[in-house]
Structure 1
Amino acid sequence: MGINLQKGQRISLKKEAPKLEQLMCGLGWDVAKKKGGFLSGLFTTDFDLDASVLCLNQDGKIKSNSEIVFFGNLRHYSDAINHMGDNLTGAGDGDDEQILVKLPLIPQNIHKLVFVVNIYNALERSQDFSQVENAFVRLVNLSNNQEIARYTLSGNGYQGKTGMIMAEIARVGDDWEMMAKGEGFQVKSLGDVMKLYS
């Protein structure tokens, strides 16, 4: 069983999973059940949450569009990061989207991986993270399929937030550290997320 992280907590991957080379970042969520009468269920719409990875340099910036892995660019040019595909509804148990990371292949100029989830067409659909439940991010060691750590969003305060920085993995010397973030913001698209780091 992995470590259940609290917001702002960080762990050393080298300490928690010695010799870690390949990991899977799983992200999942559920759509909150609408409260109300028997007709409320007739007006529910699917939530299309998109997981992305932003690859930042030592200045915390995105150098180019090729440093973003998302549903429109499933593979990083280094082959270090591979997105396993888009889940359009969030239906089902477990991970809704998975991203594979090969730590030794990450180019030296990349110092931080930022795992972001944003709601597709959120403003048009009047959707935000206050309508999402059980959103989580977890890291799994692919050599033994053991979960290293998990962070689950908790509490309120996500009204109007259409994007979420779930976690970061940062290079620290010869180690990598994971930090639970849970920071929400309002964006229309992934392009707006990129502007935060440009």
Structure 2
Amino acid sequence: MTHVMAKGANIALPVAAVRAVLRWSATPGAPDVDASALLLGPAGKVRSDADFVFYNQPRHPSGLVRHLPKQQTADGSGITDTVEAELGKLPTDVDRVVLAGSSEGGTFRAVSGLRLLLFDAAAGDGVPALAEFAMADGDEVTALVAGELYRRAGTWKFRAVGQGYASGLIGLATDFGITVEDEGDTRAGAAAGPPAGDPRAALPDPRPAGRPEPGTFTLAPAVPQAPAPQAPTGVPANMPPPPPKPPTVPPNLPPAPTAPPAGRPGYGYPPPAPHPGYGYPQQQPPAPAPGYGYPPQQQPGYGYPPPNTAPQSPQQGQQAAQPPVPQQPTPPAEEFALPPQGPQFQPR
């Protein structure tokens, strides 16, 4: 038995899976209608954009909610668009399944015979519908919530809603938390018609000749976050670090003195002092000039080997006993000068 529903009425559903069918009359020039479904969580919003099932996303990732191809009735008087939902297998965080519809090419006021039929998905064809909700007096809207499936005390129920959206499918989707993008007529292939294999290709075009092709509706793609730009350093990665800078000398200090060249004392510098000490030879005064025929006399000093003390022959001993003849100093040469001359010798 089919329950004919009024707006706001609800019934319990004794089935585990349902088939929700939007049906309208195939009137020439009437807008086209598309069915859709939204899976809502406890907050009344979708959990993600994947919870929106419609013609551009016809299957939920779980496979429990599906959008079926559009068909024409057997007698050709009507067109149907269908959504199936396996209610008994939906996760517990799904509280509601919204059954919606949108129109292309006009408002729902121009759609005649619009109704929502709810069937048992496990039953075959020809079985009467569980519920029927007619929306004969459509408003000037392009999207609407036809009904909703919801949980109550562990069981699923159906409520007839019939709420319209003047902002279209975009307004309906964003109201339930979907991020959408309206591409309009600029989308590639928007005027190409239904895809290959879609039963809508065999349906008569309800739009009159000369009417522009309606816009399309897609979910907005996720925008990747670009990495934050880094400031260029200007230094190659393989370049070694620069050497440390020398310490800066304060300007009020005098310049450091420069050591004089080796072997020549500089102005204002005392000559280097000898370094006497154990194992170092002492600096000896210069020996006097040797006399004619005599060897230079070497004075022994600390650290120098003693003179030869080997035994000598008697002749050598006599010669050694004789004292050396001291050298007489040579008198300086007198300067020669002429005696004073008398006037007779002066040049005239």
1:70 equivalent to 2:50? Answer no
Residue in 1 aligned with 2:22?
27
Residue type of the partner of 2:2?
Answer: G
| Root mean square deviation, CA, Å | 2.2
Question: Per-residue CA shift, 1:77-99, capped at 9, x if unaligned?
Answer: 111111112469xx934551111
1:96 equivalent to 2:96? Answer no
Q: Is the 8 A contact 2:26 2:79 kept in 1?
A: no
1:2 equivalent to 2:7? Answer no
Which of the pair is proportionally richer in strand? 1
Gap regions ≥5 residues in structure 2: 178-348
Residue type of the partner of 1:155?
Answer: D
Aligned pair partner of 1:173 in 153, 157, 174:
153
Secondary structure of 1:98's partner? Answer: strand
Aligned length: 172
Secondary structure of 2:29's partner? Answer: coil
Q: How far off its partner does 1:106 sit?
A: 1.3
1:12 equivalent to 2:12? Answer yes
User: What is the TM-score when the length of structure 1 is the normalising length?
Assistant: 0.79
Secondary structure of 1:143's partner? Answer: coil
User: Which one has a bigger Cα radius of gyration?
Assistant: 2
Q: State how far apart, in whole Å, the 2-side matches of 1:119 and 1:155 are.
A: 15
Q: State how far apart, in whole Å, the 2-side matches of 1:65 and 1:93 are.
A: 35
1:107 equivalent to 2:76? Answer no
Q: State how far apart, in whole Å, the 2-side matches of 1:118 and 1:2 are.
A: 25
Equivalent residue runs for 1:1-198 within 5 Å: 1-14=1-14, 20-30=15-25, 45=29, 47-86=31-70, 92-93=76-77, 96-120=80-104, 125=105, 127-145=106-124, 146=127, 147-155=129-137, 158=139, 160-188=140-168, 190-198=169-177
Identify which range, 145-154 or 67-76, moves more after superposition. 145-154
Secondary structure of 1:49's partner? Answer: strand
Gap regions ≥5 residues in structure 1: 15-19, 33-43
Question: Per-residue CA shift, 1:47-80, capped at 9, x if unaligned?
Answer: 2211100111111112211001100111111111
Q: How far off its partner does 1:46 sit?
A: 5.1
Secondary structure of 1:96's partner? Answer: strand
Relative to 1, partners in 2 of residues 1:141 and 1:115: Cα closer, same or farther, differing over 3 Å? same
Residue type of the partner of 1:136?
Answer: R
User: What is the TM-score when the length of structure 2 is the normalising length?
Assistant: 0.46
